[in-house]
Structure 1
């Protein structure tokens, strides 16, 4: 259980509260988790896939893309899920990173070495498939995080050349 239930209640993305003007709840869920396994999996994903993308984008743009993808996932959750639905976790933002990688692979094919493509494509596919078979997962958050990242990646590629080494 979350160590401080009041803090959790204030930061979780509860749709009805967002609809009533607590807009920070579109951002704060990206940074909170309730289970150790959840934070461990998200941290592991970020450690594996974040550094190369951060080097390619730069720190500032990486942070904007990561948080932007999480917000996109949370807005979709707000629009699609029922009013009393509560969501937490960085998974939408993590899937956003996957979406950026997919945008790079589609629109800037030569930016990523072949071995990078061999790693990222199966991981994205497995992650999307596992979304549908894992309990207590915000499927909307995962899918729209991926879509948000893809859109953000496409926009970034309009203005910045990205290369992985």
Structure 2
């Protein structure tokens, strides 16, 4: 078991650390509030609410909200999903670029809904948290990879498409799930990965040009 965990960590160190961080934070919330947190406890523990961000300038919530979970099923489903797609995207992008995509996805998950709140008061009374927006960001990253390298990643994206549609459907029909956070995370992950891939391609072309000139 120990060797298996070590092998998985070596394959995807960033994903492993991210899952461990979510678990540790959940254990702390469990010790403080029990198996499930209510919205007030979630706010006290770093959950996202646009009113608190604006009026109290608690901008840290734009990031901390991504790492809290409201119950055992919530964190179990998210960590399982993160493990599945996270290891694949990390091995495809490599850790440094992967970390950038994770950060942009996390920031977009709360940042884009916050911008909508500033414009029209969007979801002023909601409290949200969880790593699922980042997971959707990684799905967006896979979409960017499939767009850039169709011969390698398009089949993988097609295989995941039914699951993606199901997750989006659940986000729509279940009121407690943040559809805006999921969509925002996916947009952030797609844009971040698309830009990273184009920068990488530009650098390779520039290097080749320097060699031949």
Q: Bin the TM-score by the shorter chain.
A: 0.7 to 0.9
Alpha-carbon RMSD? 2.2
Q: Deviations over 1:38-97 (max 9, x none)?
A: 111110111111111101111122122112112101012223333342111111111000
How many positions carry a matched residue from both structures? 160
Q: Which residue of 2 aligns with 1:99?
A: 140
- Give SS of 1:11's match: coil
CA contact (8 A) 2:43 2:127 kept: no
CA contact (8 A) 2:146 2:154 kept: no
Deviation at 1:118, TM superposition (A): 3.9
1:18 aligns with 2:53: yes
Distance in 1 (alpha carbons) for counterparts of 2:168 and 2:45 = 29
1:148 aligns with 2:188: yes
**Correspondence for 1:36 among 30, 55, 72:** 72
Distance in 2 (alpha carbons) for counterparts of 1:101 and 1:95 = 10
Q: TM-score, normalised by structure 2?
A: 0.68
When residues 87 and 61 of structure 1 are mapped into structure 2, their CA distance, relative to the original with a 3 A threshold, is same
Distance in 1 (alpha carbons) for counterparts of 2:178 and 2:42 = 21
1:87 aligns with 2:128: yes
- Give SS of 1:12's match: coil
Q: Which has the larger radius of gyration?
A: 2
Distance in 2 (alpha carbons) for counterparts of 1:153 and 1:79 = 22
- Structure 1 segments of 4+ aligned residues over 6 angstroms from their partners: none
Q: Deviations over 1:6-32 (max 9, x none)?
A: 685141112122113111110001111
CA contact (8 A) 1:101 1:120 kept: no
**Correspondence for 1:121 among 152, 158, 161:** 161
Q: Which has the higher contact order (CA 8 A, sep 6+)?
A: 1
